[in-house]
Structure 1
């Protein structure tokens, strides 16, 4: 009888894992269809201005602040059901973008999908851990990450294929449909995985340098993440097919570079890695501001995306200076700090671009990277 119960539990766990894998693949594939094509849609169809684009990005990040509050309201839902609701809201919001013909509509539908997918991005790692065997959590996280990467590459490839004849509206409907399919798959995951834990945050003075580094890194990410592709599309008329090519190469490079960056961090330490990273980035930002040749900008865009992997050194730095019980709540605080940057930087950067030209946000970004370098030089690791 006991052996039968163990077999049934194992079969149920395998079934849950299978449906979670399907959920992750469909969600990652669907969101990539939207993410790859949105900048071109915003510029070519909505004719969005830089200040409007910055405002849109800022408003789209506001739901990130409310994630913990919403999860508290929905605490009666199990994590699989919460994931389903989140993916359904995200899918409906992205599909509705196919009907957007003005900036206010663009903002409304973007905030809707963002509200759903911020919840999904929070719940997904927790579900991954709960579907892992004890002492095999890292392996499971790696497996799910690999599945997501395959889905992203597949989505980018499909956009590249369809870019010549498929309208943006069709891509958004396909994207939203995939997210709804992901929500459907999640409905088959067992309810007994439990309800989500409400994120706890921790602020301690001894981690102040870490918080500064996180904030500056978040600002740098937002400058480049918000305006680099937008500049390629708006200022240099880069088409959707070329954007898809760039994103595909970037994704492949990041997948290959991440483990190598991790090994380098372990070998030489966080201080040296971060200083090297910020030194190179300061030059890349200046290049993005002043280079008139779009082919050079493609290379700079590629290099900057690859260098994103070195930000993992911030997490390993925290683990070096904090006891285990402080790590998770401190990472939650870092997420909140990143959301502050995500709301502030696009808004300010968009107005600077509108007033003074597209080069100014990248010059400001270069200055932030120099500040990051100065902060990284203050790192003192325990022996």
Structure 2
């Protein structure tokens, strides 16, 4: 009977993956255009937005500790409801920039609650020998669903008169559906967990890599779409098309990078990522100088696609921690600490990036990112894993 319950709950969990994928696909496609069209933000103001948006991620260890009495599933239900309320508020109750920030933070809190819990739920519904395949299946459903989200935006804005308000409401409904299907899953009494904070000198390189990666990543997340919107005037349907391409490419990169970690190791994968990122940064910086606008926008869009499809490289940092862990129980708290470091830097770096853009132009934002990528390469080359 337990196996039947597990299979039933895993099916429900896959449906949750579909609903969250559609909602996040809609949000990621329209959010930057929404900010630009509704509030006419400058580059420096766009940079400031990232501080409140990333704050829930920096505090997520504390939030999950406070919610631990609920267990993973009930905490996830709460996260999905927060995300739905945030989406609803963005669509219906954001007449001012300040009110938008409140709803954006609620959405961010909800999605950040679910992010770390989803892996735990997936593994609790699996056996040790199929952790990877089960989580891979959930990830695949989520990826396919994000393509549905992109399709809704592309069709809606091109042919059906879809507005930002209606798009946010549609996404809110999908988060509600995700909460409902999570609620249908069987819950067990949560085990009392002692919250651990582990900082060992053996993990110092991982912590530094997390900080450097967080800085570079946030420059791309914040300013790469902003260049395409502000300088080249790309619309939500065009971002939906870019999302299609990213998703299709991600299916390939997930397999290739996973195999490369097993065959070549983390040092090779992370060093290669850093080299590719240096090239991408230079593409963003100099595309407008070496080509006419019609070609420059293609170069920058290609940089955007390649960078977004490489997000799966993050698992190389996770497997690095797993392999160097002094004790097996160090892995989760060490990864959590790395995530917090990542988000702390992600809160602050866009502020300075916005000032740099306003003062000297966007080229210098990506030149700064290139310098960070060079530092990332230097650090990645220092990775050593004992046999």
TM-score band, normalised by the shorter chain? over 0.9
* Of 341-350 and 166-175, the range deviating more from structure 2: 341-350
2:257 aligned with 1:261: yes
* Structure 1 counterpart of 2:103: 109
Deviations 1:121-155 (A, max 9, x none): 12211111111134322221111111111111111
TM-score, normalised relative to structure 2:
0.92
Matches within 5 A, 1:57-96: 57-96=50-89
**SS across alignment from 2:185:** coil
The structure 1 residue matched to 2:316, chosen from 313, 320, 326, is 313
* Structure 1 counterpart of 2:291: none
* Structure 1 counterpart of 2:364: 360
Alpha-carbon contact 1:160-1:245 (below 8 Å) kept: yes
Alpha-carbon contact 2:87-2:103 (below 8 Å) kept: yes
1:361 and 1:249 map into 2 onto residues whose CA distance is 25
1:273 positional shift: 2.7
> Aligned pair in 2 of structure 1 residues 248, 197: CA closer, same or farther (>3 Å)?
farther
Alpha-carbon contact 2:9-2:186 (below 8 Å) kept: yes
Matches within 5 A, 1:1-383: 7=1, 9-99=2-92, 100-164=94-158, 165-192=161-188, 194=190, 197=193, 200-292=196-288, 293-323=296-326, 324-383=328-387
1:232 positional shift: 0.4
Deviations 1:38-70 (A, max 9, x none): 111111122122222111112111112222222
Alpha-carbon contact 1:253-1:306 (below 8 Å) kept: yes
1:270 positional shift: 2.4
* Structure 1 counterpart of 2:293: none
> Aligned pair in 2 of structure 1 residues 372, 149: CA closer, same or farther (>3 Å)?
same
Which consecutive residues of structure 2, in runs of 5 or more, have no partner in the other structure? Answer: 289-295
**SS across alignment from 1:378:** coil
1:239 and 1:21 map into 2 onto residues whose CA distance is 31
* Structure 1 counterpart of 2:292: none
1:199 positional shift: 5.5
Which consecutive residues of structure 1, in runs of 5 or more, have no partner in the other structure? Answer: 1-6
Deviations 1:162-186 (A, max 9, x none): 1222111110010011101111111
Alpha-carbon contact 2:323-2:385 (below 8 Å) kept: yes
Deviations 1:8-65 (A, max 9, x none): x333333322322222211221122111111111111221222221111121111122
RMSD of the alignment, in Å?
A: 1.9
1:250 positional shift: 0.7
1:198 positional shift: 6.3
> Aligned pair in 2 of structure 1 residues 263, 118: CA closer, same or farther (>3 Å)?
same
1:133 and 1:267 map into 2 onto residues whose CA distance is 25
1:244 and 1:67 map into 2 onto residues whose CA distance is 29
TM-score, normalised relative to structure 1:
0.92
1:273 and 1:254 map into 2 onto residues whose CA distance is 16
> Aligned pair in 2 of structure 1 residues 22, 196: CA closer, same or farther (>3 Å)?
farther
**SS across alignment from 1:136:** helix
**SS across alignment from 2:39:** coil
1:145 and 1:204 map into 2 onto residues whose CA distance is 31
